[in-house]
Structure formats: C-alpha cells, structure tokens
Amino acid sequence: MSKKQTKYIFVTGGVTSSLGKGIVSASLGLLLKQRGFNVTIQKLDPYINIDPGTLNPYEHGECYVTEDGAETDLDLGHYERFLNSPTSQNNNVTTGKIYQTVIEKERKGDFLGKTVQVIPHITNEIKRRIKILGNKNYDIIITEIGGTVGDIESLPYIESVRQLKWELGEHNSMVIHLTLLPFLAASGELKTKPSQHSVRQLMESGIQADVLVCRTEHKIPKEQRAKLAQFCNVSLDNVIECMDLDTIYEVPIYLQKQNFDDVVLKVLDLKNEKEADLKNWKEFLKKYRHPKKSVEIALIGKYVSLQDSYKSISESFIHAGAAQEIEVKVRWVYSGELTSENVEEQLKGVDGMLIAPGFGDRGIEGKILAAKYARENKIPMLGICLGMQIMTIEFARNVLNLTKANSVEFDTGTEEPVIALMEEQKNVVEKGGTMRLGAWKCTLKSGSKLQEIYGTRNISERHRHRYEFNGDYKTEFEKNGFIASGINPDTELVETLELKDHPFYVGVQYHPEYKSTVANPHPLFLAFIKAVSGK
C-alpha cells in the first residue's frame, strides 16, 4: 500500500509582527482535526539562538517545553492547548539549529569539497526539517513561519517554501498570508494598501498567497474585501476576516463561520463532508463567559510586566476555572518589590497564591516573604519549579530555624544548601539545554493529597530546571509536617512537597501548566482552583 501524500500549509505574516499567526494556525489545526484529519503544527523561528532556552522572557515570552525535552517557542503551547495532542522537538526549528547542523556536516566533510551556501545547503536543511514530520503519517502539516515577510532573516525560509511548493506539486501545499488592515480614524476607513504591498513582497520571492487572513479592529466592508481579492490575486471567498476578539478561544468559531476550513480543503483538493464538531469547545466557552463565582489569585514572579512570560500558567487558570464555572482573576505581583513592611498590603484579600518559576537571584527574598505569608495565613498556595524551592527555603528558615538556608543557585557558599545541584550537574558550564528537561516519572505517596488529586500513584510531568531539593534534609522536613509526597523512581529526587494542616500548600518541581489543555484541564490546577474557591 503506497503512503498517502501529506499536505502542507504554510502560514506567513506581513505588515507587522505579532499578528497572531500562532492562534490562527492553532485554530485551523483544531477545525481540521475535528473534521477527522490527523494534523500537527510546527514553528520555524528565524532567530539564531539554538532555542529560546537562554532568552530572557521579556524578549520572547515563556519558554515552552515538550514531552521529549525540547525548549521551544510559546506558540507550541497554543498548538497543544488547541489540538490536545503533544508536539515534539521536530515541531520547532530555529535558524540556529539549521546553521549548526549544516556547519557540523561541513566540518565532517559531508559536502565533499563543495562551497557551502544558503542555496542549496541551508534551504535543503530547512526543507528536510519541514518534511521530517511528514514521515509520521500526518494528513496535514501546518508550518508557521516566524517574523514578517521582507525580514532579511526570514528569506531562507520563504525561499524554501517556494521550492517545496514546486517540488510537492499542485494541491499538495498552500500559503496562508496574515496581514493587518489598519484603521485610520481621520478618514474613518480600513486601509488595504499595506496588505497589497505585503502580498507583492511575497510574490517577489516567487510565492502567491492562496488565502489572505486579515487582522482588523472593524468588520471589512464588501468593497474593501473585493479590492483585496482583486489586487492580491485571491478569490473573494479566500479573503478571511479575523477581528480582535475577547479571548483567543473564540477564534476557531469565528473562522469556522467564514468557512475557513472549507476554503483550505478546497485549495488542497481534499474531500471531506464532515463538519468540524466544536460542541465541547462551545461548552467550554459558555462556561468561561458565564462563571458562577470569581476568585483572585496572586501570581508572584519576576517577569510580571510581560504577562506572556507566564502564558501557560494563565491559560491553565482559564481551563481549570471554566471547567468549574469560576472566573480566575490574576493579581500580578512583582516579587522584587515585596518587603516585610508591604507584603500584607500587597497580598491582602487574595483567595490564593502561585509562586512562579524563574531563574536567578532577583526578587527571591520577596518570593520567600510571600510563601511565609501564605503558609502562616492558611492561604491556598501552589509553587511551581522555583516556587517549590522558595517554599523549601522559607520552611527551612522559619520552621526548622536553619536561618542560613538557601539555594546554591543564589549563594554558592551557603551553610545550609536545602536546594543543591545533582552530582552530574556540578561540572556543567554551558547554559543551553543542560537542565533536567522534558517528561520524568514521579511516584506519589499513598494517601497523599497529590495522589488523591491525580487519582493514581504513577505520573509523568515535564521539567525545566537545574537545581534540586537536597535529600539530606528530607527527614527533618517530614518530621515537621512538610511531606515529600512525590519521588522520581529512578533518581530518588524529590518532585513534590505538601504541607500537613493547611488547606492547600503544595510545591512541585515540575511544570504542570505545560500539559493543561482546553479538552483536559490539568488535575493539579483543577484542585488548586477548587481549594482557592473554598469548595
């Protein structure tokens, strides 16, 4: 039996960056999946970093981690949350990875004395990466190209798409181009000229867009739509409007109303009579829009001025909140400004607290004060990754009277290293990709709060950290009621801590937020929101 032809959809952006290519790609993926197609989405990032693991969250938002341990772009989080299926390291490609591979091959002599050039060597490697997923039996692969058409760094990707379209043949690939229709208040109209220029720039690279998705603040009048179709060489039905909506989760329904999925299937010559079933999605939206009560959670972190730094956490609140018909309001608290004088005032009235992940010693003492406040005032609290380590340091200092307790990350010479490095990590110098990454097993104690939450003893969760709970202190902690309730069965490292005699005081070394989706809100977030709401 011959292998079926995988179809490729390329999503490009023009006029400005940050138009929402990721959300449009994820929404299209959801519509096609609900029609019965096996779909995945990949992201091509034009920056030269190997991955976003070493990038400041202010630069690029959160770094998202896949099951197989790849540090990737936050758009992969959207893909997983919408499609409810995991991505892998092959779903995120950067220019850094492309050049690294080509240079390594050149050093090994793989090119047999040839001059190594952008065309064909870099473009061949890009095409190879795009097609890797094609071997996995997907019907459709959506490839989002980061950046904006016309950027120097995006050119090799655009050229690779041009070559692939030609190689794959008619109806086996298509290009969706996202543009912005700015509204000029002075003349009171939407302007199509930037979109025309953007499409023309794409055509100069040898690519004709098949579908135009227009980001806009206002509905597109008929004559503007006709103008876009005529001057951008697309049929009228293929001009899709994408207005600003209250939530990203409305986008699939908004696009479905314009037959976006039908338009795409027609271009790809795929026959499918089934309509995308969004019944559960609409149910989720209904609950999200009409909550029965509301709670406020303080998210204590270092990067709160760019909320994309904690994207997966805030989305997990939405999933778990909507499932229980609870609106979750987030109070963003910058830990660097918390002091013993103002901690009560800053955290007054919150129903729950979450201490966020992070790296480095800035704002640490503020987080420790917040943990103490939650512990002493019996406020439900969840600590994630660094958050668990903060809870560890606070407990050691204020309950065990180890006043010098600290993490080796913040004080290499600390007398009480309650958070330390694993032996094999001690000589690691490089920063990128050298942490405990991806899915690791965890065995939960029988009768523990976490075992009750998960409904099982054996779980697997994604990690992204370097420092660990120091096992030498475990007995002392447990004697005083802070229980190591989850242990990695292979390394015996402590994965979770939970406090007795407290409504909800749980620290986890892993990142539960990476696995929360619209269809399956994460059990830990469900339990946390339940505790916060006083249920």
SS3 326: strand
DSSP E strand stretches across 335-375:
352-355
Tokens of 284: 């989720």
SS3 486: strand
Catalytic residue among 71, 385, 442, 498: 385
- φ, ψ for residue 185, nearest 5 deg: -60, -40
SS3 497: strand
Helix or strand holding residue 372 (H, E):
helix 364-376
Best CA proximity match to 147, nearest among 234, 250, 252, 48:
48
User: What's the 3-state SS for 200-266?
Assistant: HHHHHCCCCCCEEEEEECCCCCHHHHHHHHHHCCCCHHHEEEEECCCCHHHHHHHHHHCCHHHHHHH
Per the annotation, the verdict on 385 as an active-site residue is: yes
Per the annotation, the verdict on 513 as an active-site residue is: yes
Per the annotation, the verdict on 62 as an active-site residue is: no
Tokens of 429: 């110098």
The CA distances from residue 285 to 78, 279, 280, 291, 325, in Å, are 16, 10, 9, 10, 10
Length of the chain in terms of residues written: 535
Give burial (CB, 10 Å; 0-12/13-18/19+) of 229. middle
Q: What is the DSSP string of 422-455?
A: -GGGTT----TT-SEEEEEEEEEPTT-HHHHHHT
Q: Which residue(s) pair with 298 in the sheet? A: 331, 353
Give burial (CB, 10 Å; 0-12/13-18/19+) of 1. exposed
Catalytic residue among 80, 315, 498, 513: 513
Catalytic residue among 319, 465, 511, 522: 511
The Cβ of residue 448 has, within 10 Å, a number of other Cβ atoms equal to 18
Contacts of residue 462, Cβ cutoff 8 Å, sequence gap at least 6: 65, 66, 67, 437, 438, 439, 440, 510, 511, 514, 515
Q: Tell me if 6 sits within 8 A of 140, measured CB to CB.
A: yes
Contacts of residue 286, Cβ cutoff 8 Å, sequence gap at least 6: none
Q: In the structure, how many helices (H) and strands (E) does the chain have? A: 18, 23
**Dist. CA 271–CA 7, nearest whole Å:** 13
**Dist. CA 37–CA 34, nearest whole Å:** 7
Catalytic residue ranges: 385, 511, 513
